Amino acid sequence: MTRIIKDIDTAVKEIMNGNVIGLPTETVYGLAANALNENAVMKIFETKDRPRFNPLIVHVSGTDAFEMYGENIPDDVYSLAEKFSPGPIAYIVKKKKVIPDITTAGNDSVALRIPSHEMFREVLLKSGVPLAAPSANRSGKISPTSAEDVLSELEGKINYILDGGRCEVGIESTVISFIDGEARILRYGAVTKKEIEDVIGKTVHGNSGKLVSPGQLKSHYAPMTPLYILDDPTELKNIKDNKMGVLDFSVYNNVKEIALNLYSDLSKLDKMNYDIIVCSKVDDEGLGIAINDRLERASSGKVKFEDNEIKIITE
């Protein structure tokens, strides 16, 4: 049986026993285990049904730990950490041997992140081990942003979920790599490209093609109900069809609120037995880039609204 708990010590004990547990972070809920314990990390992959080639982020309590698990860490990482960590950003650097290969899926790099959620930080400090934690969803599904969301994804597969309330960011961290000598964003998140460039004073690149995050495959973060992106966003208000769910961002005041509610709104719609869900993209700047990226990955394609009907656009 899976229990939602509030007691940090129980969570710490579970980690020290080599088990996996649902933990709150400021971005989304994580499925955490001791990153140094191969068996424990193996359980993460099994619980999520995650492909073994997809590396995990290692969460640590502060920059002191960067040297313990990473090598040749560029100054830029420390400059960024000073500004954005603890917070929603992970830095990929060369890994040290103490991190087992299974944690990084055989890569000689490791993603290090200092989360800001108080409860996660307490578990890190009390357990004294780094925690590998992917999002606490079944592989390919929507990331959970509340303890209840984790329960509905992983009920019966883990013993405990530590309840830290709703996540304050709502989408996963920005992942930035320094592996090939350039700063490259592998996953867009709450810390934007421009904010990073302002700190390190140089251009940040996108994915090079060869350096991709295995977790950034297309068709990710997907609901069960097919999601379609409406080409002309102004048409969204004209859709009145009880078989169609509308993921409507117009109820929110800004992109921050949209990010915060994106996964929970999508998962609510997903449970309502619609034939399809439609949405429109947001302005492609700042946090909007991360939101549009998640929509693209979650969607089955584009549609247009014509003669009071939804038509799939085939290109």
Contact residues: ligand TXA, CB under 6 A:
25, 27-28, 30, 54-57, 90, 92, 104, 107, 109-111, 113, 115, 133-135, 172-173, 175, 186-187, 213-216
Identify whether the C-beta of residue 173 lies closer than 8 Å to the C-beta of residue 88: yes
112 contacts 65 by C-beta, under 8 angstroms: yes
Question: What's the rounded Cα separation, in Å, for the pair 131 and 288?
Answer: 29
135 contributes a contact to Mg ion by CB under 5 A: yes
Gap between the Cα atoms of 54 and 44, Å rounded: 12
Name the residue nearer to ligand TXA (CB basis): 21 or 92.
92
Would you count residue 27 as binding Mg ion (CB under 5 A)?
A: no
Q: Which is nearer to Mg ion, 51 or 128 (CB)?
A: 51
Binding-site partner at residue 225 among ligand TXA, Mg ion, none, CB < 5 to 8 Å by type: none
And the tokens for 215?
């977790």
Please, which residue, 34 or 280, has the CB nearer to ligand TXA? Answer: 34
In the block, which residue shows the tokens 């509308």? 246
Q: Which residue is nearest to ligand TXA (CB)?
A: 215
Which one of Mg ion, ligand TXA, none interacts with residue 60, CB within 5 to 8 A by kind?
A: none
Q: 109 or 135, CB closer to Mg ion?
A: 135
Is residue 46 packed enough to be buried (19+ CB in 10 Å), middle (13-18) or exposed (0-12)? exposed
Nearer to ligand TXA among residue 60 and residue 110 (C-beta):
110
Q: Contact, 166 vs 188, CB < 8 A?
A: no
Residue 186: name its binding partner from ligand TXA, Mg ion, none (Cβ under 5 to 8 Å by kind): ligand TXA
Q: Does position 145 bind Mg ion by CB under 5 A? A: no
How far is residue 287's CA from residue 17's CA, in Å, rounded to a whole number? 38
Task: Give the C-alpha distances (Å, rounded to integers) separating 311 from 219, 225, 239, 315.
Answer: 21, 16, 12, 12
Question: Shortest gap between Cβ of 189 and ligand TXA (angstroms)?
Answer: 7
Q: How far is the CB of 73 from Mg ion (least distance, A)?
A: 24
Query: Is residue 139 within 8 Å of 49, Cβ to Cβ?
Result: yes
Selection from ligand TXA, Mg ion, none that 56 binds (CB < 5 to 8 A by kind) is: ligand TXA
Kindly state the smallest distance separating residue 220's Cβ from Mg ion, in Å. 7
42 is written with which tokens? 């193996």
Binding positions for Mg ion, rule: CB under 5 A: 135
